[in-house]
Chain A
Amino acid sequence: MPLTEKKKTAKKTKDNTTRNLTIGMVLFVVVIGVAFSVLSNKTNSHVSIPSAVSATDGYGIVINKDAKVRVDIWEDFQCPNCRNFETVAGNYLNGLARDGKIKAVFHPLTFIGPESILAAAAAACTSDQGKFLDMHTALYNNQPSTENSGAWTNIKLKLLAITAGDTSKSTQSCIDSGKYTNWTNNVAADGAKKNVNATPTVFINGVQLNQAHYLNLPALQADLAAAGVK
């Protein structure tokens, strides 16, 4: 075999090794990435959860756990449609929850991004002081017009909690420390299991609200009356 041929073969083997190694590395990174995504999106039963939250209620924030009619609200504090829903139905639903007429279960989803996580975690902090409904209203009243624009920081959310009537020190430190940040992941994982594909999504006693009734208060009231709300 002439020398040049030999050299060529050697070069080819070396090329193949580098090539296979690189392909192997890419495949390895893909597998690690998939494993990372699957593990980090799984429900974690060891995270801190607000006192009004239990795994059996899908990690949602529960108000009146013993009321007969159950209303599940899946929302994202940054979602414009959720704000529209709040504008139309917020007062009515809050009234029912305050009067103990419904078991309201709030599931703050965070798919819009980092500021949804901050807002959801802050709202969870206020729920420990019984101020969740007030904070809920305050968040929608102060929803930034653009998503994740830096408008919602922990400093702003702490002020918002105070204006919503929760002046407790523990809420302030709870927001600061991001105590319930990881809890939002459990809410999201539960929403994925329950096939929640849009926000807001409302279930009355487990039945999804008719799409046309979200922004139609009389229709929503009729649905709730039919479900047993007096």
Chain B
Amino acid sequence: MKNFKAVQPWLTLAGRILLGVVLILAGYLKAKSPDQAQMAVRAYELLPISLANFFGLALPWCEMGAGLLLVVGLSVRYAAIFGGLLMLLFVGAISQAWARGLSIDCGCFGGGGQVAAGHTKYLQEILRDLGLTLTAVFLYRYPQGKLGFERESAPTQGDAVD
């Protein structure tokens, strides 16, 4: 376990940057084309239209906010919970689209909406989001890492303190 103790802060840093950069990028690409982000959410056929449209506009900013907190290393736990739940939500939404036989692009990094049958990439999308969920779980368990804003006043790792 001594080895792990030495490596863990670096793993946390890597996880923060991975999940953080993915969230910032995904949010930025969506915020850049709001029409398409709204369309992507509607195409899941999960939410009432007006709510889906609002979600499409609000989600990108929340993603960018959580991503920023992860990259600078602030309130890593809450940001990781948010990111992890978001990824699980995406996995659920994509799975139901797959199961119902919808032909859509996940719209994860901009784009989205209906695509031709046979052009869906559900499995890759789900595996990617599950990987990111695991990253979030790791960050929740070990929020203290290298180059974190909070490392000075850090509680001991693993404590249930944000």
Residues on A close to B: CB < 8 A?
Answer: 11-12, 15-16, 19, 22-23, 26-27, 29-30, 33-34, 37-38, 40-41, 109-111, 113, 188, 191-193, 195-198
Contacts and interface: CB of A to CB of B under 8 A. Distances in A.
- Chain B residues touching A, majority SS: helix
Contacts of B57: 34, 37-38, 41
Interface string B30-73: 01011110110011000001100110011011101100110010
Given A15-B152, A33-B64, A110-B35, A197 B58 contact: no
List the 9 closest A-B pairs by CB distance, nearest first. Answer: A33-B61, A30-B65, A111-B35, A37-B57, A198-B114, A111-B36, A34-B58, A197-B43, A188-B35
Contacts, number: 80
B113 A197 contact: yes
A29 B149 CA distance: 19
**Size class of the B contact interface (CB-based, 8 Å):** 20 to 34
Contact of B62 (A30, A191, A192): A30
B69 to A, nearest CB: 6
B31 A37 contact: yes
Main SS at interface, chain A: helix
Contact of B38 (A15, A22, A110, A192): A192
B42 A195 contact: yes
Contacts of A113: 33
Candidate in B49, B57, B153 with the most chain A CB atoms within 10 angstroms: B57
Interface string B71-115: 010110000000000000000000000000000000000000110
Among B33, B61, B68, which residue has the most Cβ atoms of chain A within 10 A?
B61
Given A113-B33, A192-B42, A37 B61 contact: yes
Interface of B: 31, 33-36, 38-39, 42-43, 49-50, 53-54, 57-58, 60-62, 64-65, 68-69, 72, 74-75, 113-114, 149-150, 152-153
Given A193-B49, A197-B114, A198-B114, A15 B153 contact: yes
Given A37-B58, A38-B54, A195 B35 contact: no
A197 B113 CA distance: 6
A197 B42 CA distance: 7
Contacts of B38: 41, 192
A33 B61 CA distance: 6
Contacts of B149: 19, 22
A11 B154 CA distance: 12
A196 B38 CA distance: 10
21 contacts: A12-B152, A19-B149, A22-B149, A26-B65, A26-B68, A29-B61, A33-B61, A34-B57, A34-B58, A37-B58, A38-B58, A41-B38, A110-B35, A111-B36, A192-B53, A193-B50, A195-B49, A197-B39, A197-B42, A197-B113, A198-B114
